[in-house]
Amino acid sequence: MGRKINIMVTTWRYHWDNVTKTFYTKPLAPQVNIEDCEQLDTLFVKINDNRQIEHIYEGRISDVRIIGDKIYFNVNLKAKLDSPPPGIPLLKLTKSGWYIHELDEEVPQEDPYLPPFFKSLKTENDWEQFEHDVHVVLKLLGINNIRKFYKQRGHADGIFRIGNLVVIYDATLGDLKEKEKQIENYINSLRGDSYRFEQDSEWGIKNYTKHVWIIKRDENTRRFRISDDIVVKVVSIDSLMRLYKKRLVEIDDEDELVRRLIDIEKE
């Protein structure tokens, strides 16, 4: 027997981080036994009208009581989660209701959505392999118009365009301080209305949102500097992994993906 948990999914406003009490009607909670539900860990899931996950919290419920056809309870949040726990059917996370789910704890809880090589990105010490794997991650995100640069260590690894966004990226295992001169070169290469490749071809980038990404393993994603209209960001591998998973379960079109990439520090 596995461990049972409550899963509570709703579209209601202010849930779950701005409520302390709420309720479900009995038809939305057919599996619930109020005698033991307070003893279970709880996932609080907020979805939008398109059944896309907006946020997930873990915590507990208390003071469960039935009044008429409603089950009332207090909400006690513990932590916000970056992504759903592995092994839970997507339907239970994207349809309004109160469910009881039994986790199979005898089976290692590997995330079924993440490719196996994502693990090596967290430990890889070969800079060439790290750069290659980052390029693959970007393609898995749905970025198809991407050019990889096959150059010596210390240069940008590539450039991509998607929607109205253009990004020069550099995946590195080194110290950020060592990148200052290169970052300036990356910025300068984006200043014009076009980006020229060595093969005498070019991309038009006039009126694009222009970014430089320094992709690292052990850094928080953040804005690093801004030069005119060009934004330099340090981008964590963890942010890319989270966005990859959200693309599978939440993001339905390219415009939404572009918005998420532009605001990658929020992922």
* Confidence at residue 123, expressed as pLDDT on a 0 to 100 scale: 79
* Confidence at residue 43, expressed as pLDDT on a 0 to 100 scale: 95
Distance between CA atoms of 31 and 29, rounded to whole angstroms? 6
pLDDT digits (tens, 9 = 90+) for 185-234: 999 999 999 998 876 788 999 999 999 999 998 778 999 999 999 999 99
Phi-psi region of 207 (alpha: psi -120 to 50; beta: other; left: phi over 0): left
* Confidence at residue 191, expressed as pLDDT on a 0 to 100 scale: 93
Distance between CA atoms of 10 and 220, rounded to whole angstroms? 30
- Rounded to 5°, the CA angle 115-119-125 comes to 130
Distance between CA atoms of 152 and 35, rounded to whole angstroms? 65
Query: Mean of the pLDDT values across residues 127-140?
Result: 91
* End-to-end Cα, the chain, rounded Å: 35
* Confidence at residue 110, expressed as pLDDT on a 0 to 100 scale: 62
Confidence category of residue 138, pLDDT binned at 50, 70, 90: very high
Q: For residue 235, what is the enclosing H or E element?
A: strand 230-236
**Is the predicted pLDDT of residue 91 greater than 60, yes or no?**
yes
Q: Are strands 209-216 and 165-171 parallel, antiparallel or unpaired?
A: parallel
pLDDT digits (tens, 9 = 90+) for 141-176: 999 999 998 766 557 899 999 999 999 999 998 888
Q: For residue 224, what is the enclosing H or E element?
A: strand 222-227
Confidence category of residue 105, pLDDT binned at 50, 70, 90: low
pTM: 0.62
* Confidence at residue 219, expressed as pLDDT on a 0 to 100 scale: 78
What is the arrangement of strands in the sheet containing 222-227, beginning at the earlier edge strand? 145-148, 158-162, 165-171, 209-216, 230-236, 222-227
pLDDT digits (tens, 9 = 90+) for 222-246: 999 999 999 999 999 989 998 998 8
Write the DSSP assignment of 128-157 as a string of letters. Answer: HHHHHHHHHHHHHTT--EEEE----TTS--
Identify the CA nearest to 43 among candidates 2, 72, 6. Answer: 6
Distance between CA atoms of 147 and 149, rounded to whole angstroms? 6
pLDDT digits (tens, 9 = 90+) for 46-81: 999 888 899 999 999 999 999 999 999 999 999 898
Distance between CA atoms of 215 and 173, rounded to whole angstroms? 9
**Is the predicted pLDDT of residue 107 greater than 60, yes or no?**
no
* Confidence at residue 165, expressed as pLDDT on a 0 to 100 scale: 97
- Please answer whether residues 47 and 94 qualify as being in contact, where contact means their C-beta atoms are separated by less than 8 angstroms: yes
